[in-house]
Structure formats: structure tokens, C-alpha cells
């Protein structure tokens, strides 16, 4: 979801980071913007598929006036982006403040195969709310989540989590440098939506990231994207086959043109199956154990979490793919792999008490998003972490229901002067301030109860928003390890 950013017109001050000086720009509202800032060495050449490497210092003043390249991904006109993609962007009200400001780090979504940090309207948080906003790019698809340890040896054992480690490297950069931009490294919230939320959830279970943040915001995503090594290996073998390579020829991945790999990846990701094709890997090293048991351990660093979903998430994808619009079991195999049969049984159970189309929409929404989010919230709450749960129910008058990603314009308060109902504009301001309050104070408001797994409540955002007790069927739903498996 790309949202136009304010024009930058004048040179900004120079900021000293630990590796060198950067000069950004000042936009027309006075916000200082630093674009395309490298947070790790370029993962090119011998660095392809490997964990991110530290930056080398530089002596000159580097301009930070243009967004860095998108990570390699498919596009309407063919492959786009560049492997030299490990950059971030910073929006700040000022470089100096009497009290360092809270920081929000945005991790974009896009099915782990698309998107970019420059889609984030960070100037809204900096200008309106006096927050230092950061957005990042990370490696996508095959370059960020292709398990290669079994094919290329121990040096590539973490290749299936290169994208996870990119986020960790970006958070290390934030801890080391954000004070120079007026931010407080002790008040960092990591925020993601869709695949971004799933990736932030993977960071939650990555010990290397412990202590680099204090809060998370997870919009429509939990740990369900983490897959076992057998599933990850199947994806690797399918990509090799799409490239016309045998498994013993995997070494050619190290030198193939970027565009060839992206074209093969696009073949695999066509249709609903692309939603789940790539994701973090339970490799025993980056992610040492199954996510929910890991989070349940006592003594883990405490985090505060704001977690939620939209009521009709799956409606967005039904608009994209006709095969998903009517109940059918094969499409569930595309979406959920070996777990598809269980989802079909859940749908058949639901249609006994609901109209067919509603049962189908709610079941696919539950198993794509809500189940994982609620289980994650319950696990964190039981382990003593403070959790606030929400559901976005607002339906545009005469328009679509609250489908996947529809909450973004409300959370960022970017409805602006669009022809929207007054209730929508009011709700947008309300949601944005809830998010801002959480980022800046650690709580979204006293009238929003913390989540209790024994008596689950969520704040439901609608034309009239209020906290509601949930009829929570997700605790015991049959979905082994809540993970995607081929």
C-alpha cells in the first residue's frame, strides 16, 4: 500500500552515526528525513543468502536524500529491485530534544515477496506525534527465506532466515544510532502488518534480537509463517526445479542473475499458494525452537504487544483469485498445505450454523490470520507479557467489508481529504491516537483492557468502538503447531 510522501525541498543538517556522517533533507513541514541509509553491508556477490555483514566506516559526508532500491521482487513489467537493498529511512522532528523521543520501526508486508519501506508515511508520526519513525527494507523471497544449508553446507545454515537477520541488523543499527536522530533506544516499538507482522513475530522468537526493542505491534500476523526444515527444503527443491536445476546443482544459485531467480520464484508464487510460499524457518539456530513453546518460557525479556486482525481478512484475496471465492477443498491445500484438510473440516462445521458464504469467509480468515494472532496473544499473556488485542470491524458504507490491510489508512490516519464518511475520519483519528499512545507510553489507554487468556477481551474498532468479551474458539482449534507445512 503506497502512500505519497511529503516533498523534500531543502537540505537538512548533518547527522553523525557510528560509521559516518549523513546529510538528509528537511521537508515542507519541517520534518528531517534521511533516506536510503545503509544499515549493513550490501548482501551481494559472496554475501548472497548469507547473514548480513557489518558496515565499514566512511570519511566523507554521505547524502541520504533518495530511497534505497527495493529488494528483488516481481513486478508488472518483470523483475525489479536490487540485491543491494539493506537500507532504512528515518523521519524525525529534530536531531536534538530535551527528552529523547519514542521510536517506531516499520517492517513492511507483501507476502515475503514484495513491498518496500518507502511505502510507509513516517512523516505523519514525526510531524503530528513527535515520534522518530524508521522504515526498513529487508531481503525477500528466495534471497531472504530460501533454506540452503542442506544443499550448500554449514555456511548457509541460516539462509532461510536471512530476512529475519536483516531485521535484527536494522534493530542493532537503531540501538546504536537512533539517539543521534533524537530517538530513545530504550523506547523502541517494532510494528508490522501482514508478512511484516509475521516477520516481527519471528523476531520475537529470535534470541539474537532480545533487548533490541521493548514493544511490538502486530497487525494481521503471528508466528504461523514459521515452517519446519522439511517444508523449507521442499520450497528450495521446487525453486531449483523451476530453474531447471537438479538438487545437486544448487551451487549455481550463487551466481545466477537476480532476474532469473525472481522469474522462477514468480512461477511458484502464482495464485493463492504464493501467500504462504516463503517465510522464516525453524532452523534450530536463528529460531532455536517452535515459536509458541519458546515464548511460553519463564524469564524471557518482557515485551508489550498490541495484536489484532480485521474481521473479514480473506475477502481481499477472494477479490484477487476466483478460485477462492467459493468453498472448495483444493484451494485450501494451496493455502495451507498439509493442514488444508483440517481447515475444510472447520468450514464444514461452521456452515451448519452460518450461511455458506459467511462460513467460508470466516473460516478462511480464521485460519489465515485470526487463529495465529489469538494464540500468540494468549501465549504472551500467560507468560506475563502485557498484551492488548483488537479487531477492526469497520465497513465502508456501501463498500467492502473490513478486509486484509484495510486498517492501514486508519492506523496511519492518512484518509486525509478523501471523500469518506465522517465516521471513518473520526475512527481514523481515534485508531491513530491509540497506536501513538502505545508507542509513546506503553499502553493504548486505560479503557482498553489487557488481554486475559481466561477471559479474553478485544477492543473492536467500528463506527462505535468498544471493548467486548470474545467467544474465543481458537485455543483448541485443530491446527498442529499453527505452522505452514507442505
Centroid of chain to Cα 136: 11
Nearest to 139, CA basis, from 156, 116, 157, 173 = 116
Residue that is written with C-alpha cell 525452537 in the block: 289
What the block records as the C-alpha cell of 456 is: 479474553
CA distances (Å), 203 to each of 79, 107, 209, 485, in order? 28, 11, 6, 20
CA distances (Å), 397 to each of 159, 189, 249, in order? 46, 33, 55
Centroid of chain to Cα 135: 11
Q: Is 108 a catalytic residue?
A: no
What the block records as the C-alpha cell of 224 is: 504461523
- The catalytic residue among 404, 407, 428, 465 is 404
d(CA 337, CA 333): 5
d(CA 340, CA 329): 7
3-class secondary structure, 363: helix
Q: Is 313 a catalytic residue?
A: yes
d(CA 332, CA 339): 8
Residues 6+ apart with CB under 8 A from 126: 31, 32, 91, 92, 93, 132, 133
> Do 369 and 479 touch, CB atoms closer than 8 A?
no
Torsion of CA 30, 36, 39, 42, to 10 degrees: -170
CA distances (Å), 380 to each of 211, 217, 297, 384, 453, in order? 16, 13, 10, 7, 9
- The catalytic residue among 116, 194, 201, 373 is 194
* Residue 325 DSSP one-character state: S
Side-chain-facing half-sphere of 439: CA atoms under 13 Å:
30
> Do 219 and 195 touch, CB atoms closer than 8 A?
no
- The catalytic residue among 83, 193, 219, 313 is 313
d(CA 461, CA 428): 10
- CB count in 10 Å sphere of residue 422: 8
Q: Which residues participate in catalysis according to the annotation?
A: 194, 313, 404
Amino acid at each position: 500500500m503506497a502512500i505519497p510522501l511529503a516533498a523534500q525541498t531543502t537540505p537538512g543538517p548533518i547527522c553523525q552515526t557510528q560509521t559516518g556522517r549523513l546529510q538528509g533533507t528537511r521537508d515542507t513541514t519541517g520534518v528531517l528525513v534521511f533516506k536510503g541509509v545503509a544499515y549493513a553491508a550490501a548482501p551481494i556477490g559472496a554475501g548472497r543468502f548469507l547473514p548480513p555483514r557489518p558496515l565499514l566506516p566512511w570519511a566523507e559526508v554521505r547524502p541520504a536524500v533518495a530511497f534505497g532500491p527495493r529488494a528483488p521482487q516481481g513486478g508488472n513489467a518483470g523483475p525489479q529491485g536490487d540485491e543491494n537493498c539493506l537500507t532504512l529511512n528515518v523521519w524525525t522532528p529534530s536531531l536534538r530534544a530535551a527528552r529523547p523521543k519514542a521510536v517506531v520501526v516499520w517492517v513492511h508486508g507483501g507476502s515475503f515477496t514484495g513491498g518496500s519501506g518507502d511505502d510507509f508515511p513516517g512523516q505523519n508520526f514525526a510531524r503530528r506525534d513527535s515520534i522518530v519513525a524508521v522504515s526498513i527494507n529487508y531481503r525477500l523471497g528466495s534471497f531472504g527465506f530460501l533454506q540452503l544449508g542442506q544443499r550448500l553446507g554449514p555456511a548457509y545454515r541460516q539462509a532461510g532466515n536471512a530476512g529475519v537477520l536483516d531485521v535484527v541488523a536494522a534493530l542493532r543499527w537503531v540501538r546504536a544510532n537512533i539517539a543521534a536522530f533524537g530517538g530513545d533506544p530504550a523506547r523502541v516499538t517494532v510494528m508490522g502488518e501482514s508478512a511484516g507482522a509475521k516477520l516481527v513475530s519471528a523476531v520475537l522468537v529470535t534470541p539474537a534480537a532480545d533487548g533490541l526493542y521493548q514493544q511490538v505491534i502486530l497487525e494481521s500476523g503471528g508466528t504461523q509463517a514459521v515452517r519446519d526444515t522439511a517444508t523449507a527444503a521442499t520450497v528450495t527443491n521446487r525453486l531449483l526445479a523451476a530453474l531447471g536445476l537438479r538438487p545437486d546443482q544448487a551451487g549455481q544459485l550463487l551466481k545466477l542473475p537476480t532476474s532469473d531467480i525472481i522469474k522462477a520464484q514468480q512461477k511458484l508464487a502464482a495464485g493463492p499458494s504464493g501467500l504462504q510460499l516463503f517465510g522464516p524457518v525453524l532452523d534450530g539456530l536463528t529460531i532455536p525452537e517452535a515459536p509458541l513453546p519458546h515464548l511460553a518460557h519463564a524469564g524471557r525479556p518482557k515485551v508489550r504487544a498490541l495484536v489484532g486482525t480485521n474481521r473479514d481478512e480473506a475477502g481481499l484475496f477472494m477479490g484477487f483469485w476466483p478460485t477462492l471465492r467459493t468453498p472448495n477443498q483444493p484451494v485450501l491445500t494451496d493455502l495451507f498445505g498439509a493442514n488444508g484438510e483440517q481447515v475444510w473440516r472447520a468450514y464444514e462445521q461452521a456452515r451448519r450454523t452460518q450461511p455458506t458464504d459467511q462460513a467460508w469467509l470466516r473460516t478462511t480468515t480464521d485460519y489465515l490470520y485470526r487463529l495465529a494472532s489469538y494464540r500468540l496473544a494468549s501465549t504472551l499473556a500467560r507468560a506475563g507479557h502485557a498484551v492488548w488485542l483488537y479487531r477492526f470491524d469497520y465497513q465502508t458504507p456501501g463498500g467492502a467489508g473490513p478486509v486484509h490491510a484495510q486498517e492501514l489508512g486508519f492506523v496511519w490516519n492518512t484518509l486525509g481529504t478523501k471523500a469518506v464518511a465522517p465516521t471513518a475520519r473520526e475512527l481514523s483519528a481515534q485508531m491513530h491516537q491509540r497506536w501513538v499512545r502505545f508507542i509513546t507510553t506503553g499502553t493504548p489507554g486505560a479503557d482498553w483492557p489487557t488481554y486475559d487468556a481466561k477471559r479474553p477481551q478485544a477492543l473492536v474498532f467500528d463506527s462505535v468502538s468498544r471493548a467486548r468479551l470474545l467467544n474465543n474458539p481458537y485455543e483448541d482449534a485443530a491446527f498442529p503447531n499453527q505452522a505452514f507445512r507442505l
